[in-house]
């Protein structure tokens, strides 16, 4: 009798949840929203199961309310009522900045990071001591390490870097020598970027990677002498296109068909990175969040691949790439973009086919599997 009641109850629950699901067209794709947070990072993943992961939350104040709102717009578009997992790749203000504001707008169930902040920054330390614990008080919190997986039904979500450690044991069938290691040149970096939490996400035959701001030296540590990962279809983020990351040992060896760069109007898209990406074997297209003055027209992609413009449109964009300005007083602010923000949306299918859409101009391109 008892089992009969349990059966009846569970049958009712199943039909109730089916009914709820039927109010939306059932999702069959992995949907990825690359959200414009003005040269910061925020990427939302929604699996066909409805499971969700958000990598980073945009900028600190004064951009935090704006960026949390933009993330919320994407969450609503995806029909989310909660975010299952948030990964903060590292403790830079363009990556965790909108977290407090976002947590006011939508429940977050699980917080993942690389551990303590290592780069001297009093505001970040204060956030980690006073505010962060209150955000995950009613949720779970954990420190990622390479080899960990994040449970998202329908996806395989593997952590490949965290706190300076990188994946070394090859995935099944991988581990071949990486031919780009011989020409690698070490580069200096700040303290936090090399600690970035990196993720490799697999959905059927579709594979994508997001490495936060992981730097060249860690790319080398992970990818040399042998490539433990193999190839991906889509390379996300690319550290805004800055030249302290994105060496051929990573970009060329992963052989992405498509890359999507989270650059700002005067941040990233630097010539060295653009040369590496544009010469990457098998690359079909690079999509960008903004036109970066650091690219100029010399290195940029056509506007149809760029998601956002600037508030004060100039009659023409500079042709030459601008050198990276030295921070300090007297540096003019970058061109502002506070008007409507557009995301780039990726919809991937189990068979590896995926479609990328620029929501500003509606331009969309499908990359068929098996090519
Ligand atoms: Zn960054
Ligand atoms: Zn950073």
Q: What is the pLDDT of residues 6-54, one digit of tens each?
A: 555 555 555 555 555 555 678 899 999 999 999 999 999 999 999 999 9
Q: Which ligand is nearest to the CA of 196?
A: 2
Question: What is the structure's pLDDT at 1?
Answer: 47
Ligand 2 centre and the CA of 319: distance in Å?
A: 28
Question: What is the structure's pLDDT at 313?
Answer: 84
Ligand 1 centre and the CA of 262: distance in Å?
A: 9
Q: Which ligand is nearest to the CA of 193?
A: 2
CB 165 within 8 A of CB 146: yes
Ligand 1 centre and the CA of 112: distance in Å?
A: 17
Q: Which ligand is nearest to the CA of 56?
A: 1
Ligand 2 centre and the CA of 192: distance in Å?
A: 6
The mean per-residue pLDDT over the stretch 283-296 comes to 97
Which residues lie closer than 8 Å to 254 by C-beta, 6 or more apart?
A: 209, 229, 230, 231, 232, 235
- Pairwise CA distance, residues 348 & 325, whole Å: 38
Nearest-CA neighbor of 32 among 77, 99, 91, 94?
77
Question: What is the structure's pLDDT at 330?
Answer: 87
pLDDT digits (tens, 9 = 90+) for 103-147: 999 999 999 999 999 999 999 999 999 999 999 999 999 999 999
Ligand 2 centre and the CA of 196: distance in Å?
A: 8
Ligand 1 centre and the CA of 200: distance in Å?
A: 18
pLDDT digits (tens, 9 = 90+) for 85-107: 999 999 999 999 999 999 999 99
pLDDT band at 3 (very low <50, low <70, confident <90, very high): low
The mean per-residue pLDDT over the stretch 223-241 comes to 98
Cβ–Cβ contacts within 10 Å for residue 172, how many? 6
Q: Alpha-carbon Rg of the chain, whole angstroms?
A: 21
Which residues lie closer than 8 Å to 201 by C-beta, 6 or more apart?
A: 30, 45, 155, 156, 157, 158, 207, 208, 209, 210
Residues with CB under 5 A from ligand 2 (ion): 92, 193, 213
Ligand 2 centre and the CA of 108: distance in Å?
A: 23
pLDDT band at 329 (very low <50, low <70, confident <90, very high): confident
Ligand 2 centre and the CA of 285: distance in Å?
A: 25
Question: What percentage of the chain has pLDDT greater than the value 70?
Answer: 93
Residue 54 tokens, joined: 């958000």
Cβ–Cβ contacts within 10 Å for residue 35, how many? 29
Residue 267 has pLDDT above 60, yes or no: yes
Q: Which ligand is nearest to the CA of 91?
A: 2
Ligand 2 centre and the CA of 194: distance in Å?
A: 8
């Amino acid at each position: 009798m008892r089992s009969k009641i349990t059966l009846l109850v569970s049958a009712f629950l199943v039909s109730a949840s089916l009914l709820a699901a039927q109010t939306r067209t059932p999702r069959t794709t992995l949907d990825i929203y690359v959200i414009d947070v003005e040269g910061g990072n925020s990427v939302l993943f929604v699996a066909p199961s409805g499971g969700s992961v958000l990598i980073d939350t945009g900028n600190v104040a004064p951009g935090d309310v704006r960026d949390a709102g933009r993330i919320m717009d994407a969450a609503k578009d995806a029909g989310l009522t909660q975010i299952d997992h948030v990964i903060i790749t590292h403790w830079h203000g363009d990556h965790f900045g909108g977290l407090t504001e976002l947590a006011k707008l939508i429940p977050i169930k699980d917080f993942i990071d690389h551990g303590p902040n290592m780069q001297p920054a009093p505001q970040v330390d204060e956030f980690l001591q006073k505010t962060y614990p209150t955000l995950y008080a009613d949720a779970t919190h954990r420190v990622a390490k390479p080899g960990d997986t994040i449970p998202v039904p329908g996806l395989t979500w593997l952590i490949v870097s965290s706190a300076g450690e990188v994946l070394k044991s090859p995935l099944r069938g991988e581990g071949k020598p990486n031919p780009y290691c011989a020409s690698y040149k070490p580069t200096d970096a700040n303290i936090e970027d090399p600690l970035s939490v990196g993720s490799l996400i697999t959905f059927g035959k579709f594979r994508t990677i997001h490495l936060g701001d992981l730097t060249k030296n860690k790319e080398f540590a992970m990818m040399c002498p042998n490539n433990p990962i193999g190839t991906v279809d889509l390379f996300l983020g690319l550290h805004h296109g800055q030249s302290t990351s994105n060496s051929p040992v990573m970009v060329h060896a992963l052989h992405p068909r498509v890359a999507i760069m989270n650059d700002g109007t005067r941040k990233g898209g630097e010539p060295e990175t653009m040369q590496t990406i544009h010469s990457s074997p098998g690359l079909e297209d690079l999509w960008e969040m903004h036109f970066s003055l650091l690219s100029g027209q010399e290195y940029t992609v056509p506007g149809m691949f760029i998601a956002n413009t600037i508030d004060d449109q100039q009659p023409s964009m500079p042709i030459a790439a601008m050198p990276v300005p030295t921070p300090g007083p007297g540096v003019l602010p970058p061109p502002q973009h506070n008007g409507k923000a557009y995301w780039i949306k990726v919809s991937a299918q189990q068979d590896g086919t995926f479609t990328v859409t620029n929501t500003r101009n509606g331009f969309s391109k499908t990359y068929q599997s098996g090519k």
